[in-house]
């Protein structure tokens, strides 16, 4: 018996496997494809401390990040903060978050939606979005990360 593949008539992103029955006919073979498991993480609210949202590792799976958000309030003396995304293929990514001067003012949210999911650097590797302490007087900082594992 030999295998051949063909596109499903219902969904062009699915490939259907067929088994050669040896009599000039082919029978479809049922193939179970695992659906990716959605993962989300939040740092919770922190005051002038590191806010980290971690998409946990899973044994035998690759974690992908699809996007993240960073929100927070200002500090007594505002200055740019470097937000990092670590554990991804290609190395750590860095984004600049401007922190406003004024503890009761809100920073502009940093919202990143990747056009393509970015995989972890290896199987069973977590991906972490980290926001550094935003400065003296800061009372609110949070990070949220979104992705999936397969």
Q: Which of 5-14, 89-98, 103-112 has the lowest mean pLDDT?
A: 5-14
In the prediction, which pLDDT does 115 show? Answer: 97
How many whole angstroms separate alpha carbon 46 and alpha carbon 60?
32
In the prediction, which pLDDT does 11 show? Answer: 47
Average pLDDT, the chain: 89
Matching residue, tokens 């806010």: 51
Whether the per-residue pLDDT at 97 is higher than 70: the answer is yes
Give the tens place of pLDDT for each residue, 9-36. Answer: 544 445 567 777 788 787 777 766 678 9
| 16-37: b (≥16 Cβ within 10 Å) or e | beeeeeeeeebeeeeeeeeeee
Which one-letter DSSP state was computed for residue 32? -
Q: Which of 8-22, 86-100, 105-119 has the lowest mean pLDDT?
A: 8-22
Q: CA-CA distances (angstroms) from residue 108 to 28, 54, 115?
A: 53, 22, 21
Whether the per-residue pLDDT at 77 is higher than 80: the answer is yes
How many whole angstroms separate alpha carbon 60 and alpha carbon 123?
6
In the prediction, which pLDDT does 26 show? Answer: 77
In the prediction, which pLDDT does 132 show? Answer: 98
Question: 8 falls in which pLDDT band (50, 70, 90)?
Answer: very low
């Amino acid at each position: 018996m030999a295998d051949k593949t063909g596109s499903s008539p219902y969904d062009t992103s699915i490939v259907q496997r067929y088994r050669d029955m040896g009599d000039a006919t082919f029978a479809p073979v049922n193939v179970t494809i695992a659906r990716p498991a959605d993962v989300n993480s939040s740092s919770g609210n922190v005051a002038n401390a590191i806010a980290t949202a971690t998409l946990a590792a899973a044994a035998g799976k690759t974690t992908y990040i699809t996007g993240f958000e960073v929100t927070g309030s200002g500090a007594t003396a505002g200055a740019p903060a470097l937000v990092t995304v670590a554990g991804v293929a290609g190395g750590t990514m860095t984004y600049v978050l401007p922190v406003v001067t004024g503890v009761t003012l809100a920073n502009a949210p940093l919202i990143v939606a990747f056009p393509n999911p970015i995989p972890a650097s290896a199987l069973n590797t977590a991906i972490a979005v980290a926001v550094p302490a935003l400065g003296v007087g800061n009372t609110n900082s949070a990070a949220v990360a979104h992705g999936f594992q397969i």
